[in-house]
Amino acid sequence: MGGRRWLTRNLVVLTLVSFTQDAASELLFPLLPLLLTGVLAAPPVVVGVVEGLADATSGVTRYVAGRWSDRRGRRAFIGAGYGLAALGKVLVAAAGAWPVVLAGRVVDRFGKGVRSAPRDALIADSVPPESLGRAFGFHRAGDTLGAVVGPLLGLWALSAVDGDLQAALWWAVVPATVSALLVLLVREPRRAAPSPAAPVRRGTGSRGAVRSPLPRQFRLVTAVLVAIAVLNFSDALVLLRVMDLGFSTTQVVWAYVLFNTVYALGSYPAGALTDRWSRPLVYAAGLVAFAVGYLGLGLVDGGPAVFVLMAVYGLFPALTDGVGKAWVSALVPEAHRGRAQGVFQGLGSGAVLLAGTWAGLLWTAGPGDGVVPLVLSGCGALLAAALLVAARHRLSAGGAAGGSAGQPGRAPAHGAADGEAGVVGQ
């Protein structure tokens, strides 16, 4: 296939949609802990609960919307999702009390859940099959660029409004609204009518009987990764720790920009690394970066080391986000990967809610500077990394990277593409 035929109208429009929406989201996100604990005087536990509930909402909704969009068309779900995200940002900007921020974040993330799977499916529908990897890579690059531009827009907004935090948050509404309007330019490809599905037999008496489309190995790996996710509380709390170390709002935003830049630059090399190493080893390397970041942020007193630690911490999502999605995709038949991702991401979002709750409670009950939850999570990540390395052969069974080229169940190169800026909780 020659030329640039993979760069279709829908791919370009949806990339612009994701870029503008992510710029809006990441303008707001680093300012959120400052809004909650500063302007609205909420305790730190509220920061964790707000982000945990928001992510849990996104995780549950994503799978359901993906299944429905297969039958009812994708553009309507995409438009509704981005419209809800814009509405959520309006609620956050207008909030006079933290429950309104909670409502805004839940509406925002509900919109993310509604749009994500249908959008990715529409990208796949809109490009030639042999160009899926390139197309998702293009979309990912545009989306991640929004995660870098957004915090810089936030700094510009703060400067323009003389540090008025709530006034600056209204700036996020503009790119969010543009994002929703751009969906009007999307064209839904005409799809062939599906053939009638054969009835599914259940039981154990024949070779064709179906018990579950998700095999035992998938359930094992999902259980392990979800258990690890309980250590990973919202990055809003991490940014709160940076603020507690005496950094200004501008410096906190720059720390977040650095984190996102490392995450963006590291994601592709990390994905390529899984072609040569097993996924448990790559994931374990990400957990080591997580441990260094959390332990360091928990133990330092401030200074330039904080920016170094935020950069190291950026390697954690780079080495785990796409790797985890590719890992679980490789363990199930292609026809059931949507369901598998829904189960995996939904349970992961629930784990983030639990992590935000326990970390926020310890943050509030302890010294108030976040040292205890950061150190506990950092130590837990080191232990989890060691266990992954020890159990790598057991966890790699059934199709993880690192085997032979013809290994059954191996995920395609585009299996790790998600199309969203990726840390859990963002």
SS (H, E, C) the chain: CCCCCCCCHHHHHHHHHHHHHHHHHHHHHHHHHHHHHHHCCCCHHHHHHHHHHHHHHHHHHHHHHHHHHHHHCCHHHHHHHHHHHHHHHHHHHHCCCHHHHHHHHHHHHHHHHHHHHHHHHHHHHHCCHHHHHHHHHHHHHHHHHHHHHHHHHHHHHHHHCCCCHHHHHHHHHHHHHHHHHHHHHCCCCCCCCCCCCCCCCCCCCCCCCCCCCCCHHHHHHHHHHHHHHCCCCCHHHHHHHHHHCCCCHHHHHHHHHHHHHHHHHHHHHHHHHCCCCCHHHHHHHHHHHHHHHHHHHHHCCCCCHHHHHHHHHHHHHHHHHHHHHHHHHCCCCHHHHHHHHHHHHHHHHHHHHHHHHHHHHHHHHCCCCCHHHHHHHHHHHHHHHHHHHHCHHHHHCCCCCCCCCCCCCCCCHHHHCCCCCCCCCC
Share of the chain above pLDDT 70, in %: 76
pLDDT of residue 326: 63
Q: To the nearest whole number, what is the mean pLDDT of the chain?
A: 78
Q: Mean per-residue pLDDT for 208-212?
A: 50
pTM of the model: 0.70
In a domain, 124, yes or no: yes
pLDDT of residue 67: 67
In a domain, 207, yes or no: no
In a domain, 18, yes or no: yes
Whether pLDDT at 16 is above 90: yes
Looking up residue 383, the CATH number of its domain turns out to be: 1.20.1250.20
In a domain, 388, yes or no: yes
Number of independent structural domains in the chain: 1
Higher pLDDT, 78 or 360: 78
In a domain, 13, yes or no: yes
In a domain, 168, yes or no: yes
Higher pLDDT, 271 or 50: 50
Least confident stretch, 253-257, 276-280, 334-338? 334-338
Whether pLDDT at 275 is above 70: no
pLDDT of residue 210: 46
Share of the chain above pLDDT 90, in %: 26
Q: Mean per-residue pLDDT for 167-194?
A: 84
Higher pLDDT, 40 or 406: 40
Higher pLDDT, 423 or 377: 377
pLDDT of residue 409: 37
pLDDT of residue 267: 73
pLDDT band at 1 (very low <50, low <70, confident <90, very high): very low
pLDDT of residue 187: 85
Whether pLDDT at 330 is above 60: yes
Whether pLDDT at 399 is above 70: no
pLDDT band at 3 (very low <50, low <70, confident <90, very high): very low
In a domain, 422, yes or no: no
Higher pLDDT, 67 or 23: 23
Whether pLDDT at 176 is above 80: yes
pLDDT band at 273 (very low <50, low <70, confident <90, very high): confident
In a domain, 204, yes or no: no
Range of the domain at 146: 9-189+213-416
